[in-house]
Amino acid sequence: MNASALFDLVLRNGQVIDPSQHINRVTDVAVHNGEIAAVGDSLGPGLVEKDLRGKYVCPGLIDLHGHWWEGSSWGIDPNICLNHGVTTAVDAGTTGFISFPYFRKTQLSAAAVRVLAFVNISAIGIPTNLVGELEDIRFARPRETARVIEANRDVCLGVKIREGTMTGCHGVEAMDKAIEAAECAGLPLMVHITRGADVRRVLQNMRPGDIVTHCFQGRGDGILDPGDKRLLLEVVEARRRGVLFDVGHGAGAFSWEVARRAFELFFYPDTISTDLHRYSVARWAFDLPSVMSKFLHLGMPLEDVILKSTWSPAKSIGRDSLGALRAGAEADIFVFEVEEGCFPLEDTHLRTETAFRRIKPFLTIKQGTIIAPGSQPVRLRKLYECDDELYRFIEQTAAPS
Ligand SMILES: [Zn+2]
């Protein structure tokens, strides 16, 4: 304790990485009244001081794709994000216009982590893995979706659609309705692409600022031509006009092979996200630092990995006050170590590679409050027999080695 303190908290001597300001050096970060007060050398004194020599300090992570509505069989408690540096958790359309207001009232507003959301074009959101939410096209409701977004503009980021088996034979029509809703709201559309999606047509329809998620999924109908394994022309054109590509790792959507091939073609993701949900949290994705570690393993520089988990997602959702350590911004900070050793990392095609470095959470700071890893209880709902269908599907559709 220091009676003459200028700041509530000073983080000293950490390697500060803030790609939004091109900072990557050993320096101090000062926090006061829940906000970033300053980044610079020899700051202080602080009421509380932490010596972070040998550790890294970056903006609180933004996980662009997760499922945080526990009224869905996919949903999990968003507060577990605070165990691993994520201070902003984006729900990727678990709710539609019917369930969004209750999601907001019961979970989104009550969460300690900041939760923002895409609203599903399907009226029912994504309630279960048993039946696709757009197998019946009557669930696609552009007007009502835009209205609920309009009424919740402070937390709604855009429209979500899943293109694949869950759209049955209505993929094209459903996509048109999703774009209609996004246009009406004046916000981006996030499109999940998996097997069964008419991916070329989907990409042709996407607008600058729209987001493709599951870009390295490897289960068919992805970004690569199945024959020559080159990028689809539509992918190249979409990126050129400003469509963004997000990882959305999940339980079925990350292939070492596809990611490595994309890297060979100089195709890197715009944003790194977990697609964390009931089925990916205990295996495969685990948390955002684990997914980020896979990109370190693929050879992406640490600064880029941080960029794609902080400032890039902040920009993609139009929230420039997040994902940066700027004076006056809310003090959302992630402190971590880069641990060396041998770490098995599994993709969702059941292939494990050994990484020699991984990102290990040390502290999360949310609006100036220090949160230790593991301090947020993780209470996952029990699995039912029918949940096994999803795991069986993952095993059956894994790419042959
Ligand atoms: Zn998802």
Sign of CA dihedral 327, 111, 372, 360: negative
**Distance from the CA of 94 to the center of ligand 1, in angstroms?**
8
**Distance from the CA of 222 to the center of ligand 1, in angstroms?**
15
| 42 has pLDDT over 90 | yes
**Distance from the CA of 334 to the center of ligand 1, in angstroms?**
24
Which range, of 247-251, 295-299, 314-318, 372-376, averages the lowest pLDDT?
A: 372-376
Of the two residues 389 and 355, the one the predictor is more confident about is 355
237, 245 contact by CB (below 8 A): no
CA–CA dist 328, 315 (Å, integer): 18
**Distance from the CA of 250 to the center of ligand 1, in angstroms?**
7
> In this prediction, what percent of the chain has a pLDDT beyond 70?
99
**Distance from the CA of 248 to the center of ligand 1, in angstroms?**
7
**Distance from the CA of 339 to the center of ligand 1, in angstroms?**
29
Q: What is the pLDDT of residue 124?
A: 98
| 110 has pLDDT over 80 | yes
Q: What is the pLDDT of residue 105?
A: 97
Confidence of residue 70 (pLDDT cuts 50, 70, 90): very high
| 128 has pLDDT over 80 | yes
Average pLDDT over residues 258-273: 98
CA–CA dist 151, 307 (Å, integer): 31
**Distance from the CA of 5 to the center of ligand 1, in angstroms?**
45
**Distance from the CA of 67 to the center of ligand 1, in angstroms?**
6
**Distance from the CA of 367 to the center of ligand 1, in angstroms?**
27
**Distance from the CA of 65 to the center of ligand 1, in angstroms?**
6
CA–CA dist 69, 115 (Å, integer): 10
Q: What is the pLDDT of residue 44?
A: 82
pTM of the model: 0.97
Q: What is the pLDDT of residue 337?
A: 98
**Distance from the CA of 364 to the center of ligand 1, in angstroms?**
24
Mean pLDDT, all residues of the chain = 97
Q: Where are the beta strands (DSSP E) in 81-237?
A: 86-92, 114-120, 156-163, 189-193, 211-213
Q: What is the pLDDT of residue 400?
A: 76
Average pLDDT over residues 287-298: 98
**Distance from the CA of 253 to the center of ligand 1, in angstroms?**
9
| 238 has pLDDT over 70 | yes
For 332-344, the pLDDT digits (tens) are: 999 999 999 999 9
Q: What is the pLDDT of residue 186?
A: 98
Confidence of residue 141 (pLDDT cuts 50, 70, 90): very high
**Distance from the CA of 347 to the center of ligand 1, in angstroms?**
16
Distances from the Cα of 55 to the Cα of 28, 46, 318, 363, 400, angstroms: 12, 19, 30, 10, 40
Give the residue ranges of DSSP H helices in 124-273.
142-151, 171-185, 199-205, 233-240, 256-264
For 173-225, the pLDDT digits (tens) are: 999 999 999 999 999 999 999 999 999 999 999 999 999 999 999 999 999 99
**Distance from the CA of 189 to the center of ligand 1, in angstroms?**
14
Which among 191, 186, 38 is positioned nearest to 120, based on CA atoms? 191
Confidence of residue 4 (pLDDT cuts 50, 70, 90): confident
Give the tokens for residue 70.
Answer: 């526990």
**Distance from the CA of 384 to the center of ligand 1, in angstroms?**
20
| 401 has pLDDT over 70 | no
**Distance from the CA of 255 to the center of ligand 1, in angstroms?**
16
**Distance from the CA of 38 to the center of ligand 1, in angstroms?**
36
**Distance from the CA of 84 to the center of ligand 1, in angstroms?**
19
| 1 has pLDDT over 90 | no
Average pLDDT over residues 269-273: 98
Residue 166: DSSP 8-state: G
**Distance from the CA of 20 to the center of ligand 1, in angstroms?**
27
